[in-house]
Structure 1
Amino acid sequence: MDLQLDQLRALDAVISEGTFDAAARRLSVTPSAISQRIKALEDAAGRILVQRTKPVQPTESGLTVLRLARQIQLLTGDTARELGDVHQPGAARVVIPIAVNADSLQTWVIPALGRAAAGVSFDVHREDEEHTTRLLRDGTVMAAITSTAAPVQGCTVRRLGAMRYRPMAQPAFARTWFPDGPNARSFAHAPVVLFDRKDDLQFRLMRHYTRKPVDPPRHYIPSSAGFNDAICAGMGWGMIPDLMIRPEDELISLDEKVFVDVPLYWQQWRLDSPALTLVAATIAEAAAESLL
């Protein structure tokens, strides 16, 4: 296949931006030029690569070519950075899309990215740590913080540590709903705060007490800060990482002896990229300072 760099850039832009018009603005060309490049790329590949929907979606073959496009752009950006001064206006920048779970993003990841930001732009996808590997597989991201130890095909993996979560509640809430402490009956009736519908952490802890499924009232708060605020407001109990437990919130643990450790791993594409290596190193350093 004779795949041209401008065609691969067009594919990346269309998938990233969601429309041909937005891709054209990003690359400073016309929508017609984007359409022609995608058509030429599909002709070269011998198959349809994008579904022309809103937003534009890659086909299965398109995901394969998208991964190649982003690998080439990463290596091209690395080369441009080595040839120039990344601190000069207009200098070439490497774009690294990564997937990070919300609690890590809220606590220890941003300072790490800040230390690696010279000449690098980040496209951060917030996703639950149990689901970030999907974004690696389909080429959406080049690296991810995940709870999956088994490496995704074409990726390397290293353990970062673990985040410890505790069942926390506002004192008055605990007195009302857990007068005899945590037990199966209390967990079956006490309101619980969940991050989203993928959040299984609270139910994982409840199974320790109930031994069977329960269906308590629940609040969905898809924000790490908002999640904590909801618990502080007495809306329900929830699992809060040690890194986000603040004395001024005056929350109490429902059971000091019980906690859940969530292991975290760094998975990234297996590429010899100085920029990606630097990001991995700063993430690992920050994790060593913050995680168990």
Structure 2
Amino acid sequence: MNSSTLWWTDWQYRDGIVSVRSTGQKLPVKGKFLWVCFNWFVYYLCMEAWRTASIARKGPRVAFLPHRPRPWYFIWPALHAAGGRIVSDPEHADIVVYFEDATRADGRVAPTGRATLNFGCTDVTKTRVNTVFEQVFGYPLRADPETGTDPVVEKSEINGAHDGRVRNAPFTPVAGSVYQRLIDNRIDADRVEDFRCLVIGGKIPFGFLKRRPVERRFMNFNCEVKLTETDDWLLPGELEKLETFASSMNLDWGALDVLRDRNDGRIYVVDVNKTNIDPPIALSLRDKLSATRRAAKLIRAIADG
């Protein structure tokens, strides 16, 4: 991704398909996609107003290595809502963020003398998520498709692919795929629910409760999203476990996708995103702005030390 180009050049259209150059994700141009674009664009206009206003405000200076974020990454509107601005030279920054939208990366040496975010978070593969989850929570997420007899979820390692599918074990695993137990996160016969926990400065201040039809459980289109306090969804002790998990992943900024199994009552972290695209489209504009302002306040706190 070339940070010097206009952000819309990251998108390529061909034969009714829009492709994201940096990630390879393909999005069919249909009615729902156009609705998503319109919904996001209204929020984007608010972000641009914040960005313009930040020019005259004295807020935190933030540098990104090796790439600058585009407007759809949550850190972009949050830093501008904080009155901050992006600077090219880390030596002139109050906060330096390691920002690379890649599932596995080589990483960089964190600069000293200023706040840094995500410099240790270089591996968010599903394999890594499975391993760290079991270490922190003490019970497994990974599944063995060759020896098990229960349904399992087959996914690629790639972050944000939304390519999960349910398969009935036993079967021979596919090379390059990862297998997790199928979490029964249904809240009724027709809908599933998950909780996207935002990680800001290593803490989880709030999240987004997302619901979608069960037949679209692995897709990124939600029918309902609510801005949710952690105490309203998590049980005692779970927040501390999730923050320990984030720390073990070296995740200072990003999001955890958490499911609760309605059979055993336990929570499971099924995905980690260090370059999260938030707030979710289906969230109301009022709550989008509220979430962004709350994140902005925490960015200012990080800059202030």
Length-normalised TM-score, structure 1? 0.24
Compare CA radii of gyration and give the structure with the larger one: 1
Larger RCO of the pair (alpha carbons < 8 Å, separation 6+): 1
**Structure richer in strand, relative to its length:** 2
**Structure richer in helix, relative to its length:** 1
Length-normalised TM-score, structure 2? 0.23
